[in-house]
Amino acid sequence: MATKVREIMTGSPTSVSPELDIVTVARAMRDEGIGTVLVAEGDDLIGLVTDRDLVVRGLAAGGDPTRATVGGLASTATATVGPDDSLDKAVRLMRERSVRRLPVVENGRPVGIVSIGDLAMEKDAESALADISAARPNT
């Protein structure tokens, strides 16, 4: 059974510049089969954007989606974990901050993402959330 974040995190996360338009980011998410990207300037993590953010904060706001930048939609990373932090710490931070994903940062640089689904599959493999998280995406 895994005990450290590095054992269950998604490594090599996709990062995008805050100046990138939301259509380009949405296409990257589609092409890579992911629902979250980190927003960073160089190695500096600014926040993250989910596919839901693109719809709710981006498209629903109106305007030209090719001009709206992902930096304007990004949720600030209110908490991060290190790859050698315990899974219990990740769970505790998610509960305290009411977040479903945590960027994993090592030496000040983003190296992964850990999600509530990752934790569910590891800590409670028989749960409905674990089943849903393990299933192939609906595309």
What is the pLDDT, as a whole number, of residue 76? 87
Separation CA 40–CA 109 (nearest Å): 10
Looking at the chain, how many residues does it have?
139
What mean pLDDT comes out for the span 21-27?
A: 96
Separation CA 111–CA 125 (nearest Å): 25
Average pLDDT, the chain: 89
- Kindly state the percentage of the chain with pLDDT values over 90: 72
What mean pLDDT comes out for the span 42-69?
A: 91
Separation CA 109–CA 43 (nearest Å): 5
Residue 98 has pLDDT above 80, yes or no: yes
What mean pLDDT comes out for the span 46-71?
A: 92
What is the pLDDT, as a whole number, of residue 123? 76
What mean pLDDT comes out for the span 110-131?
A: 80
Structural domains of the chain, with CATH: 5-134 (3.10.580.10)
What mean pLDDT comes out for the span 32-57?
A: 93
Q: Return the higher-pLDDT residue of 139 and 113.
A: 113
Separation CA 20–CA 124 (nearest Å): 37
